[in-house]
Amino acid sequence: MPNPTRAELLGAATAFCDSFAQKKPLEEILSHFSSAAKDDEIVVHEHGLMQLAPFLGRDFCGREGVRKYFEMVARYLSYEDIRFVEFIADDAAASAGGKVGVRGKARFTWKETDKSWDETFVYVLGFDITAKLTRYEVWADTGAAYLASRGEL
């Protein structure tokens, strides 16, 4: 089976991001992840220091790891006005299927303290040859999340 085309990668990335932005049920969000890949081939990683938030700085592996990541993020954060403003596809990224870089913006709130901040964040989405997610990496404003968690923002 050939790698997905650039258009297929952009379509898959947009569908995943739209389901997240529209706050679709977790099962729908999870449906964008590969069911054919082995558990060690599916990784979610939000970059940052583990000391700043419990969902930062570690790998969540396999479909259950992905579920745990999204449940943990939902426990601590809410968001509004999320929009994705740039998608860059690389259909030649390794033999795994391709990658898409995404830049987004949103207003996040740390639920426990009700402190909010506006931020720009970046996703790098890795896909298998069926255009399903196998890697979801996030770079975001971890300092703002930490300050909001302490009520200091």
Mean pLDDT of 94-113: 89
Does residue 49 lie in a domain region?
Answer: yes
Domain interval for residue 55:
6-149
The CATH number that applies at residue 123 is 3.10.450.50
Contact predicate 116/49, CB 8 Å: no
Pairing of β 43-46 and β 133-139 = parallel
pLDDT of residue 92: 65
Contact predicate 139/56, CB 8 Å: no
What SS3 state is found at 47? coil
Does residue 118 lie in a domain region?
Answer: yes
The number of folded domains in the chain is: 1
The predicted model scores a pTM of 0.92
| Residue 97 pLDDT > 80 | no
Give which of 110, 100, 107, 135 is closest to 121, Cα–Cα: 107
Give per-residue pLDDT as tens, 55-78.
999 999 999 999 999 999 999 999
| Residue 36 pLDDT > 90 | no
Does residue 109 lie in a domain region?
Answer: yes
pLDDT of residue 95: 53
pLDDT, mean over the chain: 93
